[in-house]
Amino acid sequence: MYWPIFFLLPWQRTRSCLSGGYNCPCKGDSVYTTTSKSKEGAGASLPEKKHDEIYLDIGTVNIPSSSRACPCQAVDVITDTTNTCTGIDAHVTPWSVRKPVFLNSQCQTLIVIEASSFRNDFYTLNADGTKYIGTIGWLNSAKKCTQQNIIYNDITAIGSNGQFYKYYLNCNLNTLFFDGTVEGVAMTGVTAFAQYY
């Protein structure tokens, strides 16, 4: 008797966001990964698979990937009405134009912050002119608002052309909230986020 051997072959589709530098971020995942099944050896041919499904063979039952969504709560943006932070230094107003992007297929959240003071005064040069200081804030799962300064010791890191920095938060499967680091500042249980000006 000869048993067929099945393999899961991953493939990716990628796309680039061309409007991100113009205050118009793209929505959705930039990299989409899925798998398709191929067979080595004799046996019946496989049923045709749809591109947006991942199949797991359990006898004749197929389980589509849509039933395995990321369990963490999507991160919102802090607005003027939801802001409970008191503000530190000169940065007191949340920039609520850019909502964090929920990347369901990777179970991550993409945080995009301004890399210049092109649109607002996001950064302040310190007194001796050696570093730029900006401010971020987040609400945790207990709805406590925390603000921290982010510091760029390389003053060439902050330009004047309206570019962005990207950071990724990962789903914590124990708490079902997102954790991560933005420019050296560790955040846990994040439910909402904003850059301040």
- The boundaries of the domain holding residue 160 are 76-196
Contact criterion met (CB below 8 Å) for 115 and 95: no
d(CA 24, CA 110): 15
Contact 41, 2 (CB under 8 A): yes
**Are 11 and 41 in a shared domain?**
yes
Query: pTM of this prediction?
Result: 0.66
pLDDT, one tens digit per residue, over 127-142 is 888 899 999 999 999 9
Last residue of a domain, which of 67, 96, 114? 67
Per-residue pLDDT at 40 exceeds 60? no
Do 15 and 111 fall into the same domain? no
Of the candidates 50, 67, 84, which is a domain's last residue? 67
> What does the pLDDT read at residue 165?
92
**What amino acid is encoded at 21 in this protein?**
G
**Which structure tokens are listed for 98?**
């850019």
Q: Per this entry, what is the length of the chain?
A: 197
- The number of distinct structural domains making up the chain is 2
pLDDT at 31: 59
Q: Is there a contact between 189 and 142 (Cβ–Cβ < 8 Å)?
A: yes
- 133 φ/ψ angles, rounded to the nearest 5 degrees: -120, 125
Using one digit for the tens of pLDDT, what is the confidence trace for 150-194? 999 888 888 777 789 999 999 999 999 999 999 999 999 999 999
Query: Which tens digit of pLDDT belongs to each residue from 73-103?
Result: 999 999 999 999 987 778 899 998 889 999 9
- Bigger pLDDT: 39 vs 82: 82
